[in-house]
């Protein structure tokens, strides 16, 4: 997994980057035994699929709608967009606004309550399908 933002090839589409890295892995002894997921633009895009959980983690005054209005006012989300174009910056700005330190525990808490079946992110769907293929259901349990 890698973030498209900051990878050095930001002008290339996500699928082109994934294929290029998979081809390199195959050429180096991993043919058919690897899968590349390029997060577009970066990992933090996933957290914005569920503004309710982000709102809860931030304890945002006025609720999720107020948080959405604020990130729009700050220029992180344009007209008709679903998520911030710069998700990490938007999250960091919201943390600063609320006086909360950035920590891995925040992401742990978000992941615990995240509604994975609702995530529309293409990279996330690619990751889930790969994990399901590599680790099929056993004893009635599912990964996601």
Would you say residue 106 lies in a domain?
yes
8, part of any domain: yes
Is the pTM higher than 0.85? no
Per-residue pLDDT band for 10 (boundaries 50, 70, 90) equals very high
In the structure, what pLDDT confidence band is assigned to residue 116 with cuts at 50, 70 and 90?
confident
pLDDT at residue 83, rounded to an integer: 85
Position 30 in a domain: yes
**Per-residue pLDDT band at 122 (split at 50, 70, 90):** confident
Please report the pLDDT score of residue 61 as a whole number.
Answer: 93
The confidence score (pLDDT) of residue 139 equals: 61
Q: How much is the average pLDDT of 116-135?
A: 85
In a domain, 56, yes or no: yes
Instruction: Note whether 17 and 60 are same-domain residues.
Output: no
Is 87 a domain residue? Answer: yes
Average pLDDT over residues 103-129: 84
Using one digit for the tens of pLDDT, what is the confidence trace for 31-62? 989 999 999 888 888 888 766 788 888 999 99
Task: Give the whole-angstrom CA distance, residue 71 versus residue 66.
Answer: 9
Q: What integer is the mean pLDDT of 99-122? A: 85
Considering its fold, how many domains does the chain have in total? 2
- Considering the domain architecture, whether residues 60 and 31 belong to the same structural domain is answered as no
Count other Cβ atoms within 10 Å, centred on residue 47: 22
> Could you tell me if residue 32 is inside a domain?
yes
pLDDT recorded at residue 143: 56
Top pLDDT among 73 and 52 is at 73
Task: Retrieve residue 93's tokens.
Answer: 């700005």
Same domain, yes or no, for 33 and 82? no
Neighbour count for residue 75 (Cβ, 10 Å): 13
Looking at residue 144, its pLDDT comes to 57
Residue at 64 is within a domain:
yes
Residue 67's domain spans which residues?
Answer: 49-113
Average model confidence (pLDDT) across the chain: 88
In terms of Cα–Cα distance, which of 11, 93, 81 is closest to 44? 93
């Amino acid at each position: 997994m890698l973030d498209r933002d900051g990878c050095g090839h930001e002008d290339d589409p996500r699928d082109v980057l994934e294929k290029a890295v998979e081809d390199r892995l195959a050429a180096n002894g991993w043919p058919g035994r690897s899968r590349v997921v390029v997060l577009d633009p970066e990992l933090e895009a996933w957290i914005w699929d569920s503004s309710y959980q982000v709102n809860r983690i931030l304890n945002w005054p006025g609720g999720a709608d107020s948080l959405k209005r604020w990130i729009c006012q700050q220029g992180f989300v344009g007209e008709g967009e679903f998520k911030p174009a710069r998700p990490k910056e938007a999250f960091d700005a919201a943390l600063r606004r609320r006086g909360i330190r950035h920590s891995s525990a925040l992401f742990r808490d978000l992941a615990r309550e995240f509604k994975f079946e609702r995530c529309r992110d293409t990279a996330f769907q690619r990751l889930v399908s790969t994990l399901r293929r590599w680790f099929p259901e056993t004893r009635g349990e599912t990964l996601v």
